[in-house]
């Protein structure tokens, strides 16, 4: 049995829900075969999210950590490849914090790669009928802060634990005016279950053209 710690964020910027948590909660209620999923709701706050995550990693001793966050404007799940060591917030987080041009971890590496098979995870979600692609950037807001902090923790303290990050599109009720793409939480959860299955079973990633031109 693969022990999974799966996180989602609380609602942000006045929203009533966050699709990352709605999907993560559904996955935990019905995890993929061979996995045991512990869900964790994180504050959308620089620093605080990492403290809550680190405590949970120590408490639950997972084999795999999959963090998720909302990416408004994206039309499918996006499996993040790289976390960068910079906080550059265009707007404040839920605690009013707005770091600009600061490292996530002072003195840490410029970037970390996810240790999940990102292309196999992408292909698995697509095979489950859920739009999914590889993303080369998780931004510079709280999602990237969490992703980088996770990978730094695993690299320095838990090298045998694999980790990564997936962005989830907005919920349909968040874009009622049709101004952007959306995905029901149930669909996102189906894709995330496929991602978890691939992450738990694939050791060597597949070759799949999934780069970006810009």
Q: Which residues are catalytic?
A: 80, 143, 167
Between the CA of residue 39 and those of 85, 107, 198, what are the distances in Å?
A: 26, 31, 18
Axis-axis angle for helices 185-201, 19-29 (nearest 10): 60
* Percentages of the chain per state (helix, strand, coil), in multiples of 5: 35, 20, 45
Q: Measured in whole angstroms, how far is the alpha carbon of residue 136 from the centre of its chain?
A: 13
Q: Are 88 and 99 in contact (CB under 8 A)?
A: yes
Structure token digits, residue 147:
């992703």
């Amino acid at each position: 049995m693969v022990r999974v710690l799966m996180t989602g964020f609380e609602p942000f910027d006045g929203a009533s829900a966050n699709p990352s948590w709605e999907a993560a909660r559904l996955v935990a209620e019905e995890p993929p075969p061979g996995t045991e999923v512990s869900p964790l709701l994180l504050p959308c706050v620089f620093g605080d999210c990492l403290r809550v995550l680190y405590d949970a990693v120590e408490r639950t001793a997972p084999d795999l950590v999959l963090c998720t966050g909302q990416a408004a404007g994206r039309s499918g799940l996006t499996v993040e490849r790289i976390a960068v060591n910079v906080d550059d917030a265009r707007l404040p987080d839920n605690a009013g914090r707005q770091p600009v041009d600061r490292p996530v971890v002072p003195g840490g590496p410029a970037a970390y790669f996810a240790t999940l098979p990102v292309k196999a995870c992408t292909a698995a979600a697509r095979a489950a009928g859920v739009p999914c692609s590889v993303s080369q950037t998780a931004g510079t807001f709280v999602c990237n802060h969490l992703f980088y902090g996770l990978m730094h923790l695993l690299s320095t303290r838990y090298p045998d634990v694999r980790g990564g990050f997936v962005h989830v599109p907005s919920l349909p009720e968040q874009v009622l005016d049709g101004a952007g793409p959306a995905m029901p939480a149930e669909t996102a959860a189906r894709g995330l279950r496929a991602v978890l299955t691939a992450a738990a079973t694939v050791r060597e990633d597949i070759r799949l053209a999934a780069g970006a031109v810009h």
